[in-house]
Chains A and B, each alone.
Chain A
Amino acid sequence: MRKTDRYRYVLILVGLVVLHFTVRERLGGDRIAPDFLLLALLIYTVRAQPGRSAAAGFVVGLLRDALTPASFGAGALAHTLVGYLSSWAKAVFFAENVFVNGCLFFAGTWLRNLVVLLASGRLGGAQLGWELLVWSPLQSLTTAAVGIVVLWLFGRWLAIRLGDA
């Protein structure tokens, strides 16, 4: 990877963070709009070591917990797990194509929501079912779609090779 690619890589991650706080609310309801912050974390985990990914997930989760104190700590736990598992899974599966990356983004988002809901213990019954089976898959789908577009546009900058699906 060239030195300039490293700056571009950081630029893309920062861009996703900025998108999260600016355009996300205009892309549908809270529960279905793509989660750019989580996407930035997942893209980071594709290249980083599992330990660093877990640490990055913890930091991102803790910051998000500060914005939703109803589930303080649950976000940190969820993002830690997602960061670690994502990085580990990428290493194990070794596949770098659009479908696998899309699945990674989808599963990461859904798993994050699952852990937040279970760890916070705030929702249960039918409400939990709706969140996990309807809203979370929709949000995961939009996040995965945006992730694929980002990889398709900036895959070379991110030093991720996309093969055939």
Chain B
Amino acid sequence: MALGADRYASRADTLLFLGCVGLSVAAMSLPDNWRDPIAQGLRQTVLAPFLALQQQTELLSAARAHYDAVVAQRDSAVLAATFLPELRSENGRLRSLLGLGVRLAWGYVPAEVLHQPEPTNPLTFVVSAGRRNGVHPLSPVVSPEGLVGVVATVDAKTSVVLTWANPEFRASAIAADGSVSGIVAPHGAAGPEVWLLELQGVPYRQQVPEGTVILTSGLGGVFPRGIPIGTVVGLAGEAKGWERTYLIRPAIHPAALSHVMILTAVRGPGSDLRGAFQADSVHP
């Protein structure tokens, strides 16, 4: 079919175009409590088979990687078995390499990150675990490196995660040695310090040395205490001599994630997850 110059936009085309633009602008103006059910409805109906397809592909990919790892481990085991005296020390080494899931022990759900190509994907992304897996809104989302974000909305089989990079993200934080506390928020989108966090509200008299590890404080009831957020890399600013703000290098960038863990169980106020992250998390 040859395309001809007679295919310029007709009046009907222009009206349809303007209608679509109007609807798009209306969609952008919707408040969150209207917008979320619409997005949720689309994910659970039209997009459900495609998300399932993407999830299965992720599983297949993970299974292939896992297969290679299993084969490598099997070969290692065969080799180790030929040297029985060394088996115990090998066993001890493998125990020390057990992952975050074992250290967390309970109350978590693993999920694949279903990345999308939009530039705003690191701000919110969809994961392959939902209400049926026990996920609920405000469930903390972590990786072996540290804090990723929090669950914003939950569907039956998927959830939307609001990452630390999202301008709406906040977390109550504390230095690893307990000396300083404050609120962690994204640093902003401009300047050379993009994709950094900042620790706000630190009293002016308290200095936070570079390299200090910042953890969640457990205050606020959303994040359990002890999840690594990042490390202090410098001073961001001072507010009229009564508080300081420090820049934090996050433990993990959302775009680098393929799998996450969603903490589904509500842990007691005295619980501390510091031990679960010690082996994998940020270091000064």
Q: Interface of A with B (CB < 8 Å)?
A: 1, 17-18, 21-26, 29-31, 33, 35, 46-47, 49-52, 54-55, 57-58, 61-77, 80-81, 84, 87-88, 90-92, 94, 96, 113, 116-117, 119-120, 122-128, 130-131, 135-136, 139, 159-161
Residues of B within 8 A of A94 (CB): 3-5
Residues of A within 8 A of B16 (CB): 51-52, 54-55
Using known A-B contacts A46-B3, A65-B27, determine if residue A120 contacts B8 with beta carbons closer than 8 Å: no
Of the candidates A21, A57, A117, A122, which one forms a contact with B57 in the assembled complex, judged by CB atoms under 8 Å apart? Answer: A21
Of the candidates B9, B24, B118, which one forms a contact with A80 in the assembled complex, judged by CB atoms under 8 Å apart? Answer: B24
Q: Considering residues A49, A64, A68, A124, which has the most beta carbons from chain B within 10 angstroms of its beta carbon?
A: A68
Q: Is B255 an interface residue (CB 8 A)?
A: yes
Using known A-B contacts A67-B47, A123-B120, A123-B189, determine if residue A91 contacts B7 with beta carbons closer than 8 Å: yes
Residues of A within 8 A of B23 (CB): 58, 76
Q: Top 3 A-B pairs ranked by shortest CB distance?
A: A125-B190, A73-B28, A51-B13
| Given pairs A65-B39, A68-B116, 13 additional interface contacts (CB within 8 A) | A30-B115, A30-B255, A31-B117, A33-B117, A46-B3, A47-B1, A66-B39, A67-B126, A75-B118, A76-B23, A90-B3, A91-B7, A135-B119
The reply to whether A84 and B4 contact each other, CB–CB distance below 8 Å, is no
Q: Is B42 an interface residue (CB 8 A)?
A: yes
The reply to whether A77 and B115 contact each other, CB–CB distance below 8 Å, is no
Q: Is B167 an interface residue (CB 8 A)?
A: yes
Instruction: Tell me the chain B residues, 130-188 only, with Cβ under 8 Å from chain A.
Output: 152-153, 160, 166-167, 188
Residues of A within 8 A of B126 (CB): 67
The reply to whether A124 and B116 contact each other, CB–CB distance below 8 Å, is no
How many A-B contacts at CB < 8 Å in the complex? Answer: 200
Q: Is B25 an interface residue (CB 8 A)?
A: yes
Quote the shortest CB–CB distance from A162 to chain B (angstroms).
12
Of the candidates A70, A92, A159, which one forms a contact with B5 in the assembled complex, judged by CB atoms under 8 Å apart? Answer: A92
Quote the shortest CB–CB distance from B28 to chain A (angstroms).
3
CA separation between A96 and B39, bound complex, in Å? 38
Over the window 18-41 of chain B, the binary record of Cβ atoms lying under 8 Å from chain A Cβ atoms (1 yes, 0 no) is 001101111111100001101110
Q: Interface of B with A (CB < 8 Å)?
A: 1-5, 7-10, 12-17, 20-21, 23-30, 35-36, 38-40, 42-43, 46-47, 50-51, 53-54, 57-58, 61, 114-121, 123-126, 152-153, 160, 166-167, 188-192, 194-195, 255
The reply to whether B24 and A73 contact each other, CB–CB distance below 8 Å, is yes
Quote the shortest CB–CB distance from B124 to chain A (angstroms).
4
Quote the shortest CB–CB distance from A110 to chain B (angstroms).
11
Quote the shortest CB–CB distance from A13 to chain B (angstroms).
14
